[in-house]
Amino acid sequence: MAKRPQKKNESTRKVTDLEKDTSDGMDQKLTTAQGLPINDNQNSLKAGLRGPALLEDHILRDKITHFDHERIPERVVHARGSGAHGYFQVYKPLAKWTKAGFLNDPARRTPVFARISTVAGFRGSTDLARDVRGFAVKFYTDEGIYDLVGNNVPVFFIQDAIKFPDLIHAVKPEAHHEMPQAASAHETFWDFISLMPESMHTIMWLMSDRAIPRSVRMMEGFGVHTFRFVNEQGKSSFVKFHWKPLLGVHSVARDEATKISGKDPDFHRRDLWEAIENGDFPEWELGVQIVDAKDEHKFSFDLLDPTKLIPEELVPVQRVGKMTLNRNPDNFFAETEQVAFHPGHLVPGIDLTNDPLLQGRLFSYVDTQLTRLGGPNFNELPINRPLAPVHNNQRDGHMRHTIAKQHINYEPNTLGGGCPYQAGMKNGGFTSFPEPMEDMKVRAKSEKFMDHFSQAKLFYNSQSKPEQNHLINALRFELGKVDTPAVRERMIGMLAYVDAQLASAVADAFGIEVPEVEMPLNQSIPADTPPAEVQPYDEEPMVKRSKALSMADTIKDTIRTRRVAILADESGAAQAKALKTALEAEGAMVKVVAPMKHADADLTLMTTTSVVFDAIAVVGREPWVDLPDAQDFVRDAFRHCKAIAMIGDAGTLFDAWGMKDALKAPGVLSAPQAKALAQDFIRDIAAHRHWAREEDPVTGKKG
């Protein structure tokens, strides 16, 4: 398939003189960091040919000192991340709700930089860990930087930022031996969670397939907190932010994720990079859920509670714009590693709420950047620098870039003509929403924060049967890594409040009896409650299932960017070419895999594995029947419920490998010629996975 041309100059940031990389030219002299041309870069200055190095060798010190300080402290959380440049464009003005300029001009393409990350692992950990993913977007607007800093799940583990250090200490590798890496499957995490009922909703998301996405291009993003929109008239509305991927929301199997981690721990990073380089630019639509300020208290949950979401049946998500990522970073460290996000980076028209987790983040993010990036001038690094002009009286500090020529560095003043002056509201000055406040100082939460299980139950009930099975197996695996029986028993008790059958299914793996629990009245959902219809949220129904919470109904009408492997030796090259042509015409990325390298082969069995592909095809019985690697290749694809096409006499391989009747399984096709099954194969790849095989590998029905 021909690569689409990459429009590198489209809506990307302007490069200033300070940002230009002058190291790529073909006729440039090697210099020190101060610009001194270097005559000899092979030998340090010594006292004689065999003498000691001299302290005066300033060229050696310049080079070594910079090398010694190349690493900065990695992020405590979200250390493992990937980033890309792009742009955002709103569909129509949102002036009814917000005066934010970039949300009111459909002709404007606002440059963005997005960073997507795992939470728990170190920088060198695998992309395929079971984990929440960070989803942060920096908008370079005409009114300054706006950062939307969220996750790929809409809720969080804790309700108040004061518990964040405890959560992260518990989930990080255990302090005495620093194991396990990038994993929640260990004792300290589950000990903490078993004592924190407010975490149960997020635990459902973490144990679901959402926690192991197929690609960062195929996962949702959420702002998590409730924010405010403020319009030109000063009217406030509450808003929840969503990022909806245009490729749909897809995952990988847990066994598959562990194998990918061994074969290609950079799987997600590589996938994002290659998609952009190929011109298959990732796209997300920005969605908003708007709640009028007067309706703040009309829900059974508190809008300020970060462990709760607003079911889309109550407040539909309105898709208001689109983000496209179309340029990879030029330098990982300078951009992806040094980018600094902060939920307090706002623009007029977007404001904060009293969410107690959000309030703590407003302190934590600045404090973190001071440590990581060396001081208060991190905003002057090229990746963090706003496009809007910056005028203020801030001076000096570590790593100051700006050379302030004015000697007037205070306000008010007359010697500088009163500049820089306060903008005022009429000139676009930011003003915080004047929310009335008068209450006692307390360390407490509102009563609605105490509902810890109803939305956890809603999430579990909303999952398809395969998704529920995967969630149960994930809990069995995670709790199987816990050595203390009391911790497992407490967790079974917690799960009983979510769903009795869920608790029983997990408990059976450990021989634990499920305790009888009584749900609080405001958290119970009758078993015969029908799925809610869309209706006004001021008549809040009892929502038992929410379609938006399951991946079963996600987009399944395209194979664009799907990776397909065709096993074919030289004798099967013609069939492989015919199938490859059909698949690439639909946007798939196809690789021909052979036993040994030949002219038409892209890879060999020694250099790849089926877990890094979305579907596979096999041409002919020979030479695969006696190759263990080929058998493993096909078995893994079958076990992970991927679409499989067997061409020619390839179908007889199943009998030879002891996979009787596998040809009858859902998502498995067979035909004498590639052209005869190409369209059905495309349909089956678009379905993503054929999870029915997990019930019965042949019929797909539970036996």
Burial 403-429 (b: 16+ CB within 10 A, else e): eeeeeeeeeeeeebeeebeeeeeeeee
Structural contact between residues 276 and 326, judged by C-beta atoms closer than 8 angstroms: yes
Task: Give the span between the Cα atoms of 480 and 93, in whole angstroms.
Answer: 52
Please say if 690 is a catalytic residue: no
Structural contact between residues 88 and 321, judged by C-beta atoms closer than 8 angstroms: yes
Task: Give the span between the Cα atoms of 364 and 366, in whole angstroms.
Answer: 6
Task: Give the span between the Cα atoms of 350 and 98, in whole angstroms.
Answer: 7
Structural contact between residues 88 and 322, judged by C-beta atoms closer than 8 angstroms: yes
List, in sequence order, every residue forming a beta bridge with 221; answer none if it has no partner. 243
Residue in 78, 242, 268, 452 annotated catalytic: 78
Task: Give the span between the Cα atoms of 543 and 550, in whole angstroms.
Answer: 14
Which stretch of DSSP H or E encloses residue 58? helix 58-68
Which stretch of DSSP H or E encloses residue 681? helix 674-686
How many of the other CB atoms lie within 10 Å of CB of 335? 20
Asked whether the bond before 623 is cis by omega within 30 degrees of 0, the reply is yes
Task: Give the span between the Cα atoms of 564 and 592, in whole angstroms.
Answer: 9
Task: Give the span between the Cα atoms of 175 and 157, in whole angstroms.
Answer: 21
Cβ-Cβ contacts under 8 Å for 70 (sequence gap 6 or more): 333
How many of the other CB atoms lie within 10 Å of CB of 260? 22
First to last CA, the chain: 43
Q: Count H helices, E strands: the chain?
A: 16, 16
Structural contact between residues 116 and 141, judged by C-beta atoms closer than 8 angstroms: no
How many of the other CB atoms lie within 10 Å of CB of 549? 24
Any idea which residue has 């306060």 for tokens? 422
Cβ-Cβ contacts under 8 Å for 411 (sequence gap 6 or more): 393, 420, 421
List, in sequence order, every residue forming a beta bridge with 671; answer none if it has no partner. 647
Please say if 231 is a catalytic residue: no
Q: Tell me the backbone φ, ψ of residue 283, rounded to 5 degrees.
A: -135, 140
Entry field: residues in the chain: 703
CA quadruple 180, 186, 187, 190: dihedral, nearest 10: 130
Residue in 104, 151, 328, 473 annotated catalytic: 151
Asked whether the bond before 311 is cis by omega within 30 degrees of 0, the reply is no
Task: Give the span between the Cα atoms of 227 and 349, in whole angstroms.
Answer: 11
For 599-627, what is the HEC assignment? CCCCEECCCCCHHHCCEEEEECCCCHHHC
Could you give the C-alpha distances from 192 to 199, 343, 637, in angstroms and in order?
A: 10, 27, 37
Beta strand residue intervals within 142-224, DSSP E: 144-151, 221-222
Task: Give which of 400, 404, 429, 428 is closest to 416, Cα–Cα.
Answer: 404
Amino acid, res. 452 = H
Reading the block at residue 141, the tokens are 């607007």
Task: Give the span between the Cα atoms of 293 and 67, in whole angstroms.
Answer: 54
| Helix residue ranges, H only, 164-286 | 164-171, 187-193, 200-206, 254-263, 267-277
Task: Give the span between the Cα atoms of 78 and 23, in whole angstroms.
Answer: 30
DSSP state of 463: S
By annotation, the residues acting in catalysis are 78, 151
